[in-house]
Structure 1
Amino acid sequence: MSTAPLLSVDWTDHVTGRRGHLVVDRLVRGVASGGLRMREGCTAEEVAGLARGMTMKEALHYDPRNRYVPLGGAKGGIDCDPRSAEAYGVLVRYLRAMRPFVERFWTTGEDLGLTQDLVDRAAAEAGLVSSIQAVYPLLDDEEEARRRLADAFAVEVDGIGLDELVGGCGVAEAALTALDRAGVPYAGTRVSVQGLGTMGGATARFLDRAGLRVVAVADVKGSIVNPDGLDVEALLAARDAHGTVDRSVLRPGDREEGPDAWLSADAEVLVPAAVSYAIDTEAQERIRARWIVEAANMPVLAEAEERLTARGVVVLPDVVVNSGTNAWWWWTLFGDVEAEADQAFAQVRGAMRALVGRILDRSEAAGVTPRAAAHALVEERLPEIAERYGWY
């Protein structure tokens, strides 16, 4: 895989001076896929790393039997606090500036700091037909595909949209696959989750319902800890739009602790599901978990992962673990699954179990980390995709 992205665009908002970035790492049939994030401190380097990760996620889910055709990898990022009063205006102006790219070759959607509803509203205000309109020319029946995706986004499961659950279902399935291979029973296995937004919240729900015990969660206000297990459903119901929990719902046994308490929680499974670069060399020393399941993009720094691996902690990499949302979008749009929750969850679970199993098999056979095994699989699949569809 090339080390340099195909295209990098930097943008400065003429109203606020806020900076934004778009990186297209690779095109397949002229199109690339990758979400748009908004966070204070977002950098061009961060966006480039995320775009490369999207190239890998697309390649990892390539199956020539599916209607879904892998796309290239891209990512957008805006350096702005999504909670600020100026954030929405910045988002609209960014999308207006990036309109030629979104119209022709960049399909995008929600990522850290943004919801799909907000992206859709801003895209319409910016004059776009859709945030994913670049993929429409690749569809056999655009009208039917768009109806199917719209219907899927209208599906709710226990009060939460299907689109907000499929990614967490995939993360949970990755964790459960690792537990199954190790012969570890679900009951009594403890989990700590950083972030209760779309991905972290859904992951906590699926792991809780599988019988694991969620003993710690963290949001922007700090960590909530209970060694006997938290009431996950109550916490999810008390979240605001940014995943911050109303502390009035806490039970007598729940403790409020510092923002990093989730790291050192007495848990077997650690799920960083919020920001990138959350676990550095200093933070990794506090971790007692046996598995780190990367629901966020790039949460563990490379040197930290080396040290974690040396002391027996298994890091399941983001490009595998959190790829379910992206894949579900395209399975639905291209017609591999219908707008129905059970079918969507079954597809995500089956695909994630197969992919995680294959990665762990390669990891164990070659004596390398799961991340290195995933990278090796990508290196095999990209030339196959290029041979079938061309390099761009």
Structure 2
Amino acid sequence: MTAPLMTLAWTDHVTGRQGYLVVDRLVRGVSSGGLRMRPGCTLDEVAGLARGMTMKEALHYNPEGRYIPLGGAKGGIDCDPRSPEAYGLLVRYLRAMRPYIESCWTTGEDLGLTQDLVDRAAAEAGLVSSIQAVYPLLDDEATARKRLADAFAVEVDGIGLDELVGGCGVAESLLAALDRAAVPYAGTRVAVQGLGTMGGATARFLARAGLTIVAVADVKGTIANPEGLDVEALLAARDAYGTVDRSALRPGDRELPGEAWLSVEAEVLVPAAVSYVVDTTNQRRIGARWIVEAANMPVLPEAEALLTERGITVLPDVVVNSGTNAWWWWTLFGDIDADADEAFARTRRSMRALTDLMLARAEADGTTPRAAAHAIVADRLPVIAERFGWYR
């Protein structure tokens, strides 16, 4: 793949903090990728995420669908989202990036930010929408925007549909892998790192499928129970940042150190919080059979090589956590309506097919799932470029 099309580093004139935008690729002049805010965010991190978005868009390419894949991009701000200066910094960043958001970069919530917060800051920054660059590609902009707004207003069990579809996709990817390996759901134990939007929804869908969630980790540490945690109770007891109120724990639930989730007895680990959490040192503690990347880039490449040598399969982020992005565009372009049942059915069907394709390719090529996903992307990008072009 080529180098990023555009790389931009920005310095806030008020706080001196850094922000970044990387446009990895364009399709018909437009790219897609969320905006994250976390302390320590770097340009290299954002570039890697932008490349991942190019891959996610290509992997969901359907020649017969209304949704036309976009290019990949990503934004990042080096700041703790809980900081008192975070919101003002977000508004100034969006003002600085306004020319790109208006013309070529569609963005939305990512790590540290919610869509409501991005929407509020975008309005204050003078933007029509954080995804307005895609509007010229729509057949009926007014109808499409209403359909997406209606979809964001849908709630299931008191939780927004937009917060659930990503976890539904992660869960379905794992279930597809288990089915290919003929592993029953009952008795399969799972540890989840991060109980925010993605991790919480993943835990819910896996528990409802019959798997046993034996550990969850948040900023306060790991909560574990070998007999299984009450996922719904923990989700009800978390704050806006995914931190669980410990008063909700049952007598059999244990509080363990933060990294204990890596080494609990479980068949599946789901890192669903931050990047770079599995490295060459702590990978030795992992005894699980599968690692499912619900977060972006949680396993370092060198660590993945060592895990592969030990027979541990990493289901990569570019496939596993791509459901949310796809749901946005399926809805906006009109492949699905603002309906939870339709959204979940399309997500399950698409994620299962994509996971099966990746695992079959890995088996045929004798490679890892990640290498197989890269190979699929390498096949599709020239087709997309030939059909739609980079620029309008």
Q: Distance in 2 between matches of 1:152 and 1:255?
A: 38
| Contact 2:53–2:73 under 8 Å retained in 1 | yes
Q: How far apart are residue 139 of structure 1 and its match?
A: 0.2
Deviation, structure 1 residue 239: 1.1
**Counterpart position of 1:174:** 173
Deviates more, 1:43-52 or 1:85-94: 85-94
- Residue aligning to 2:262: 263
Q: How does 1:230-309 map to 2 (within 5 A)?
A: 230-309=229-308
SS at match of 1:262: helix
Q: Which runs of at least 4 in structure 1 moved beyond 3 Å after TM superposition? A: none
* Aligned counterparts of 2:67 and 2:77: Cα–Cα separation in 1: 29
CA–CA separation in structure 2 for the residues paired with 1:288 and 1:82: 33
User: What's the TM-score once normalised by structure 2's chain length?
Assistant: 0.99
CA distance in 2, matches of 1:159, 1:230: 21
Q: In structure 2, what is the equivalent of residue 229 of structure 1?
A: 228
CA-CA distance at 1:181 after TM superposition:
0.7
Residue of structure 2 equivalent to 1:146: 145
1:171 is paired with a residue whose SS is: helix
CA distance in 2, matches of 1:310, 1:145: 47
CA distance in 2: counterparts of 1:96 and 1:219, whole angstroms:
33
**Aligned AA for 1:170?**
G
Query: Any residues of structure 2 matched to 1:20-35 within 5 Å, and which?
Result: 20-35=19-34
**Residues 271-319 of structure 1, C-alpha deviations (whole Å, 9 max, x = no match):** 0000000100011100111000000000000110001001100000000
Match of 2:207 in 1: 208
CA contact (8 A) 2:55 2:72 kept: yes
8 Å Cα contact 2:29-2:390 kept in structure 1: no
Structure 2 counterpart of 1:368, one-letter code: T
Find the aligned partners of 2:196 and 2:16 in 1 and give their Cα distance. Answer: 28
Deviation at 1:246, TM superposition (A): 0.8
Instruction: Give the C-alpha shift of residue 98 in structure 1.
Output: 0.5
- Residue 349 of structure 1 aligns to a residue whose secondary structure is helix
Deviations 1:51-87 (A, max 9, x none): 0000000000000110000000000000000111111
Whole-Å separation in 1 of the counterparts to 2:92 and 2:242: 25
TM-score (normalised: structure 1)? 0.99
Map 1:162-201 to 2 at 5 A.
Answer: 162-201=161-200
The CA distance in 2 between the partners of 1:151 and 1:168, in whole Å, is 20
**Partner residue of 1:55?**
54
Deviations 1:90-124 (A, max 9, x none): 11110111011101110000000001011011111
SS in 2 for 1:217: strand
- Say which SS state the counterpart of residue 285 (structure 1) adopts: helix
Amino acid at match of 1:91: L
Partner amino acid, structure 2, of 1:341 = A
Can you list the C-alpha shifts for 1:224-265, whole angstroms capped at 9, x where unaligned?
111111110111111111111111101111111111011111
**What is the alpha-carbon distance in structure 2 between the residues aligned to residue 321 and residue 283 of structure 1?**
22
2: distance between equivalents of 1:234 and 1:88?
31
1:369 corresponding residue in structure 2 = 368
Q: What's the counterpart of residue 99 of structure 1?
A: 98
| Partner residue, 1:87 | 86
Cα displacement string for residues 23-48 of structure 1 (whole angstroms, at most 9, x for unaligned residues): 00000000000000000000000000
Letter aligned with residue 75 of structure 2: G
Q: Letter of the aligned partner of 1:354 in structure 2?
A: A
Following superposition, the deviation at residue 160 of structure 1 comes to: 0.5
- Alpha-carbon deviation of 1:125? 0.7
Q: Quote the Cα distance in structure 1 between the aligned partners of 2:354 and 2:239.
A: 33
CA distance, structure 1, for counterparts of residue 211 and residue 367 of structure 2: 28
Q: Deviations over 1:183-208 (max 9, x none)?
A: 11111110000001110000000000
CA RMSD for the aligned pairs? 0.5
Please tell me the residue identity of whatever aligns with 1:90.
L
SS of structure 2 residue aligned to 1:292:
strand
**What does residue 10 of structure 1 align with?**
9
Q: Distance in 2 between matches of 1:13 and 1:239?
A: 32
What secondary structure sits across from 2:183 in the alignment? coil
Q: Distance in 2 between matches of 1:78 and 1:283?
A: 27
What residue is the counterpart of 1:342 in the other structure?
A: 341
CA distance, structure 2, for counterparts of residue 114 and residue 35 of structure 1? 9
Letter paired with 1:303: E
Q: Are the aligned partners of 2:269 and 2:288 in contact in 1 as well (CA < 8 Å)?
A: yes
The alignment-based identity, stated in percent, is 81
Shift of 1:391: 2.8
Q: Secondary structure of the equivalent of 2:311? A: coil
Partner Cα separation in structure 1 for residue 185 and residue 93 of structure 2: 45
Gaps of 5+ in 2: none
Residue ranges of structure 1 left out of the alignment (5+ in a row): none
C-alpha distance in 1, partners of 2:18/2:117?
Answer: 19
1:181 maps to a residue whose letter is R
